Amino acid sequence: MSSALDRLKNLTAQISSYELERKSNLKSLEELYSKLGISAKVECFEELFSFKAINLSGLSLSEDDLGAIKEGKYAQIIAIIYDKEAKVKNKNISLAYYGRAEKLSPLQKKDIISFVLGWRFEKSFRTLEHYHNLMANLKSFPTE
């Protein structure tokens, strides 16, 4: 019995930890949204989460070389929207352009990467909630 209780305590602590991190991330993300000039392209902070994805050019986001500069490339935050009515379904939109990646200061680099990773972190929670709700709706589907 103690083992089940310990697992429950650990799970509760982990969920609580994720929720605290999510709140902290959202606050940081909103600050970076203004600081990085993304608010000039996306008027409302919540609109950021209508994008299908947000990518980064000029800097690496891979675990092995996080933040590595891609020589000769330009640093840019790019949003991807999906338009099912359009002939070309996916469209890239530049949210912010920062010039040559090798000319970024270490702080600029960190802020840009933090924004993209923070957006992805929050988007993953929203996607999880979306599918959780769909699964709940599926329970009321007719079976005959």
DSSP 8-state assignment for residue 100: E
Q: Assess if residue 13 is contained within a domain.
A: no
The parent domain of residue 62 ranges over 38-139
Q: What is the pLDDT of residues 23-77, one digit of tens each?
A: 999 999 999 999 999 999 999 999 999 999 999 999 999 999 998 898 889 999 9
User: Any idea how long the chain is?
Assistant: 144
53-to-15, 23, 56, 100, 117 alpha-carbon distances in Å: 25, 20, 10, 23, 11
pLDDT of residue 58: 94
User: Is pLDDT above 90 for 16?
Assistant: no
Q: Is residue 24 part of a domain?
A: no
Q: Is residue 123 in some structural domain?
A: yes
Q: Report the domain count for the chain.
A: 1
* 119 within a domain of the structure (yes/no): yes
In order of 2, 32, 86, 113, 137, the CA distances from 116 in angstroms are 41, 10, 26, 5, 31
Integer Cα distance of 106 and 100 in angstroms: 13
> Quick check: is 27 in a domain?
no
In a domain, 25, yes or no: no
Looking at the domain assignment, is residue 29 inside a domain? Answer: no
Q: Residue 1: which pLDDT band, with cuts at 50, 70 and 90?
A: low
Tell me if 23 is assigned to some domain: no
Q: Which residue has the higher pLDDT, 6 or 124?
A: 124
**What does pTM read for this prediction?**
0.83
* pLDDT tens column, 68-109: 898 889 999 999 988 777 777 788 999 999 999 999 999 999
